[in-house]
Structure 1
Amino acid sequence: MNILHVSAECTPFVKIGGLADVVGSLPNEIKRLRGNDVRVFLPYYKAIPLKFRNKTEDVIDFKIQFNSKKDVYVGIKKLKKGNILYYFIDNEFYFGSRENVYNYGDEGERFAYFQIAVLESLSRIGFNPDIIHIHDWHTGMIPLLIEKRFPKLHSKTVLTIHNLAYQGIFPLENYRFFNIKYDPLMEFEGFLNFLKCAISKADLITTVSPTYAKEILTDYYGYGMQKLLLQRSNDLIGILNGINYNEYNPEKDRLISKNYNLETVKEGKLLNKKALFKELGVDFSLDKPIIGLVSRLVSQKGIDLIKRVFDEMLGIDDFYFIVLGSGEEQYENYFLGLEEHFPDKVKVHIGYSNKLAHMIYASSDMFLMPSKFEPCGLGQIIALKYGTIPIVRETGGLIDTVKPYNEYEKKGNGFSFTNFNAHDMMHVIRYAMHIYYHNPESWDIIVKHAMESDYSWAKSAKMYRKAYKSILK
C-alpha cells in the first residue's frame, strides 16, 4: 500500500500536543510491517529546529490557484528520517515567517492553503497514495477536495479524530478559499466546519481509543457532532494510541539520572528523586511519596478538581506535589499560589521541558490525570512504564489503559474514580497513599503490573493496517 499521512504536527519536527506524537510514531510502525510505502506531509514552519531545516532538500516549486489568486507560491522540501520520507509545504507568508505554530487570525486560510498545496503536490512528486490518512481539523477538507477538485485522485481517506473539541470553525464565506462550489457538508450551524466535513466524507473514521469512540456518540462528549457520528457509526472505530518505548523507557532513558528496570525500580526512583530535587532546587525528604502532574493547564485536564481540594489535602496529608505545564492564566496562577502557600510540599514549573518531564516520570510515585475528558492520553501510559502509578478519572483512553487496583484479587495497575468530582478524586488519592505507606507489598504488585503493561505502537499499527485494507476491498 501507498499511505500518506497529512498533519499539522509531527515529532521530532514540531509538537504542540499529542497529535505530534502519534504522527511521529505511527507511520514508522506501519512501515515496519513491510509492503507499505509510507510518507508524511507537514507545513514548513519557522518553528522547525534548524538541525532539521538545514537537512531538507528542495524538490520542486510551483504556483497554484488559491483564494481567487492564480499565482500563489508552493515550495516542496523533503527529508528522509529513519524509514520515512517527510515532505514539507513551504510558504513564507503562511508558515515560514511566523514564530508560532497556531493562534493566528487567518487559521482557516492557512490550513486551506496547506490542504490544497498537498493535493496539488502529489502528481508533481510522483506519489499516488492508496490511503490518505488525515489528522484532526487542519486536514479535514481533503476528502471533499478530492471529490470536487481532484477527481483523478482515487485515494481512500481515513480521518483520525484526536480531540473532537477542536473542529476548525470559521466564517462560512471562507469556503471560497478552496475554489469549489458551496456544499452543505462543509457547514454546521452557519459556519464553515473543517472537521464536520471530514466526518461526513472520509471513508473511515478512527479515534484514539475504543472508549472515546463510544463517548463521542453521546451528547456530553459529542460537541455537536454526535448525531452525525451516530449516522457514520458503522465506519467509526477506536484504536488506542501507543507510545514509543525507545524514547520512554527507564532502562534506556538518557534524560534521567539513574536508569532502572522492574528489579531495580526502588533504588532507581530514590536516586532519580535526589536528582530531581537538585534540579528543582528544593530540600524535600526522600521518604514521602511524590504526586506528579505533567499537563496542559486547561479545563479539560480536570484542574478544577485539584483547585477544589488540594489546599485541604496539602494541609493534612503527607506527600509532595510537583507540577510541570502551561496553559490558562487562571490555572498557572493557582499553581504558583499553591507553591507559595506550601513551599515545603509543592514545586511548580510553568512551561515545558522534555528533560524535566522525563525526570518527573522517573521520580514520582503517583501520576495524577483527573481529566474531564481524555481521547487517549499519553501521560498515564508513560507513567506506567516508569512504575509511576496513575490516578485517573475513568474517561476515554484512561479507562482503556489504567485498570483500578483490586486489593482482594491483587489485580490492577493504577487507581481511578468515576465521577467528575473533587472529593471522589481526593478519596482515591488517599486510598493510594494508604497502600503506599501501610501495604508496601501490595504497592510493589501494582508497580509490577504497571511496568509490565504493554501499550506499544506495534499493536496499534497492525490494527490500522487492517482498517486500511478494509476500505480498499
Structure 2
Amino acid sequence: MHILMVGAENDRLPNCKVGGVADVIRDIPYALSGHGLTVSVVVPDYGQEQLTRHFIADIAVPFRQHLETASLWLVESSEGVNQYVISHSLFSDNGGKIYCDDGANRPFASDATKFAFFSASVCEIIEHRVIDNLDVIHLHDWHAAGVSVLAKFSPRFVYLKTLKLVYTVHNLALQGIRPFNHDESSLEAWFPTLNYDGHQICDHQYPHCYNPMRSGLNLCDVIHVVSTTYSFEVQETSRPDEGFFGGEGLEHDMRLAAGQGRLFGILNGCNYSAADKDKLSYSEYLTEAEKCIFKWMSKSNLIETKHYIAHQRVSNWKALKEKAIVSSVGRITDQKVLLLMQKSANGIVLDDLALVADKFNSNIVILGSGDPYIESQFMQVMARRDNVLFLNGYDQKLGDTLYPLSKLFLMPSSFEPCGISQMLAMRDGQPCLVHGVGGLKDTVSHNETGFVFNGESLVQQVENLIESFEQALSLLSTNESQYNVISRNAESARFEWHGLAQEYISKLYN
C-alpha cells in the first residue's frame, strides 16, 4: 500500500514547522513504513537553503486563468519514505515563513491562495502519475483540503477520483475561510471554471464563503481527529462562555461523519528514541536562558521591556538558592492559557498560581510566544511576582532541557485535540497538571501519571485549577516519595507511534 501525505508543515525538513502537525507528518510515515507500507510526503518548498533538492518534474497547473509552472523535487529517500517539496514563488515569497498574517480585514487571504495552488499542484502530480502507484491520499488540515474539492468537482482528475481520501483535523479552530467569489483570494478566482456544489463546501455562518475545513470533512472518505475524547467533543456545539470548545461551527458535519462511520479518533504519538539526555542543572539552565534573552534582545535596536525584566529575573535567581520549577512550554494563545488570563483579586489567575507556588517555595517558568496582548499580561505578572520568569520567545534547547528540569508541567488548555507537550514532559518524568479535555484526558491519569482538573464553567475550571495546583505542590512538598511514584509512572507511560500506525492502517486506510 502506498500513502501520499499532503500538508503545510513537516519537521523532517529544516524550518518547516510551526505547530504539532509538523511533528505528526515527521513521525507517522516512518511508523507506517515499519508496517510494510510505502509512504510519500509532499509539502510546499518555502525556500529553505539547507534542502538538497533532486529534480523530478515540472508541472503545468491551471490557476487564476493562467497556466503556472510548479516543480517537484525529491529531498530525501530512506526507510521506505520519500520526502518531496513543490516549489513556486507563491510558497517562497514570504521570506521563508510558512504562514502570512493578512490582518483581521482579510483573514487567510494570502495563505488560502498559496495553499489552493499547492492543492492544485498536488492534484496534477497525482493525475499525471508523477508520484505513481498510490492507494490513499492523506490530507492534513485545511491547507490540503483543496485536493478533495478538485477531486470531487473537477472532471479533469479521473485517476484521482479512484483513490481513497483521508482527512486529518489537527486544529479545528483554523478553517481557512474565504469568499466564493468577488475577491482575488476566492474559490472562483483560483478555479474559474470549477462547477462546485456550494451546499457541501460553504461555511455555515457565512454561506457566501468557501470553508476548506468543512470541504475536507464532507468530501473525504474517512475523517480522523487526533484523540478519542476529541472525536466526541467535536460533535458538540462550542459554548465559550462556559469554557467548552467543541465543533467550532462544524459539529453538524462531525455528527454526520460519525453517523456514517467515517469519523475516527486516534491519538498522536511521541518519539521516545529522541529523548534528550543532555540535561542541564538549575544554574546551567539560567545561563542558557540568559543567552537566549540576549539573542532575542539583539533582534531590535530598542530593548523590549519583557526581555529586560526577564534578564533581571534570571540574574536575581542566579544569586538565590535553587527552587523547584513549575514549567509551561507552548504557544501563548487563548486555547492554551484562557484560564490563566481570567481576572482575579490578585490580578489574573496566573498571579494566583504564582502566590501558591511561592507558598511552596517554587518558581514558575513560562516559555513561548503568540498573542501580543496575552504576552503583555504575562510580562506584567512577571513584573509583579518575583517567582515568575516569562521567556517570551522560543528556542529548541531551552524547551527540551526545561522538561527534565521541572517538577510539574502546567497545561490548562481550554481545548486540546491531542497535545504533544504533555507527552514530552511525561517522557522526561515530569507529572503534568492538565485540563481534562481532548488528548490531555486521554494521556494523563489523575493521581497516577499526573493531575487532572475539570469544571462545568469557566469559574469552576479556574477554581479547580488553583485547587489542583495547590494539591500537587503540597504533595511534592509533604510526600515526595508518593510524588516520585507519579513521576516514574509518567516516565513509563508510552504513546508509541508503531502501535498507533497499526490503527491508521486498520481504521483509516483499509
Q: Which residue of 2 aligns with 1:38?
A: 39
Residues 322-375 of structure 1 show CA distances to partners (whole Å, capped at 9, x for unaligned) of 1110011111112222222224x1222111111000111111110101011000
1:332 and 2:375 matched: yes
C-alpha displacement at 1:137, in angstroms?
Answer: 0.4
Q: Which residue of 2 aligns with 1:400?
A: 442
1:98 and 2:94 matched: yes
2:369 counterpart letter in structure 1: S
Unaligned runs of 5+ in 1: 258-271, 406-411
SS in 1 for 2:58: strand
Q: Which residue of 2 aligns with 1:232?
A: 257
Q: Which residue of 2 aligns with 1:9?
A: 9
SS in 2 for 1:78: strand
Cα pair 1:291 1:321 within 8 Å, conserved: yes
| CA distance in 2 between partners of 1:116 and 1:431 (Å) | 53
Q: Which moved more, 1:147-156 or 1:273-282?
A: 273-282
SS in 1 for 2:270: coil
Cα pair 1:78 1:85 within 8 Å, conserved: yes
Q: Which of 321, 336, 346 is 1:301 aligned to?
A: 336
1:288 and 2:323 matched: yes
Q: Which moved more, 1:4-13 or 1:394-403?
A: 4-13
SS in 1 for 2:18: coil
1:175 counterpart letter in structure 2: L
SS in 1 for 2:332: coil
C-alpha displacement at 1:161, in angstroms?
Answer: 0.5
Cα pair 1:7 1:138 within 8 Å, conserved: yes
SS in 2 for 1:88: strand
1:389 counterpart letter in structure 2: P
C-alpha displacement at 1:107, in angstroms?
Answer: 1.9
Cα pair 2:145 2:212 within 8 Å, conserved: yes
SS in 2 for 1:26: helix
| CA distance in 1 between partners of 2:55 and 2:164 (Å) | 28
Q: Which residue of 2 aligns with 1:417?
A: 453
C-alpha displacement at 1:441, in angstroms?
Answer: 1.4
Q: Which residue of 2 aligns with 1:65?
A: 62
| CA distance in 1 between partners of 2:508 and 2:419 (Å) | 24
C-alpha displacement at 1:126, in angstroms?
Answer: 4.3
Give the direction of change, closer, same or farther, for the CA distance of 1:81–1:350 in structure 2 (3 Å limit): farther
Residues 274-302 of structure 1 show CA distances to partners (whole Å, capped at 9, x for unaligned) of 32123234325565321101011110002
Give the direction of change, closer, same or farther, for the CA distance of 1:396–1:441 in structure 2 (3 Å limit): same
| CA distance in 1 between partners of 2:476 and 2:341 (Å) | 21
C-alpha displacement at 1:66, in angstroms?
Answer: 1.1
1:459 and 2:499 matched: yes
Q: Which residue of 2 aligns with 1:206?
A: 224
1:88 counterpart letter in structure 2: V
Q: Which of 252, 263, 271 is 1:244 aligned to?
A: 271
Cα pair 1:274 1:286 within 8 Å, conserved: no
Cα pair 1:141 1:195 within 8 Å, conserved: no
C-alpha displacement at 1:121, in angstroms?
Answer: 1.2
Q: Which residue of 1 aligns with 2:293?
A: none
TM-score (norm 1): 0.89
Cα pair 1:160 1:205 within 8 Å, conserved: yes
| CA distance in 2 between partners of 1:274 and 1:451 (Å) | 24
Q: Which of 229, 235, 247 is 1:222 aligned to?
A: 247
1:96 counterpart letter in structure 2: S
Q: What is the 5 A alignment of 1:123-162?
A: 123-149=128-154, 150-153=157-160, 154-162=162-170
1:114 and 2:118 matched: yes
C-alpha displacement at 1:312, in angstroms?
Answer: 3.3
Q: Which moved more, 1:124-133 or 1:112-121?
A: 124-133
Unaligned runs of 5+ in 2: 103-108, 239-245, 291-313, 343-347
SS in 2 for 1:297: coil
SS in 2 for 1:432: helix
Cα pair 1:376 1:398 within 8 Å, conserved: yes
CA RMSD of aligned residues (A): 1.6
C-alpha displacement at 1:393, in angstroms?
Answer: 0.5
Count matched residues: 438
SS in 2 for 1:425: helix
2:414 counterpart letter in structure 1: K
TM-score (norm 2): 0.83
SS in 2 for 1:219: coil
| CA distance in 2 between partners of 1:17 and 1:330 (Å) | 20
SS in 2 for 1:467: helix
